[in-house]
Amino acid sequence: MTQTTTDGRLRDLEAEAFRTGRTLAQHSQDLGDIKAQQRTAFSNIDSLADAIGAPGDRSLTQRLDSIEGELGDVKRDLGDVKRLLRALARTQGIDPEAE
């Protein structure tokens, strides 16, 4: 084997090793990104489960009904606040319907 052939083969091997290393680095980065996305997704699921309640306490339907009821209460309270603010505006001579 001549020196030129050996040098060419070494360059080819180095180039292949570089491409392989770059591919492995990209795969490693992609795997890290996927793991981060999974952690975020599982964290969101855990947060939702905590908001709904502890398993075994009540059925999912009961928990969702409870949340729905609480939302209804909040909507009623907001309606009361809105009426109060309109009344206060009128007492100060402000038309609450004017933009």
Q: Has residue 9 got a pLDDT over 80?
A: yes
Indicate whether 47 and 26 sit together in one domain: yes
Residue pair 66/58 in contact (Cβ under 8 Å)? The answer is: yes
pLDDT tens track for 40-90? 887 777 777 766 666 666 677 777 788 888 888 888 888 888 888 888 888
Indicate whether 72 and 89 sit together in one domain: yes
The confidence band for 37, taking pLDDT boundaries of 50, 70 and 90, is: confident
Domain containing 90 equals 55-99
Q: What's the CA gap between 84 and 12, in Å, rounded? A: 80
Indicate whether 15 and 29 sit together in one domain: yes
Q: What's the CA gap between 55 and 58, in Å, rounded? A: 7
Return phi, psi of residue 55, to 5°.
-60, 140
Question: Whole-structure pTM over 0.85, yes or no?
Answer: no
Indicate whether 62 and 78 sit together in one domain: yes
Q: Has residue 33 got a pLDDT over 80?
A: yes
pLDDT computed for residue 18 by the predictor: 78
DSSP characters over 29-57: HHHHHHHHHHHHHHHHHHHHHHHH--TTT
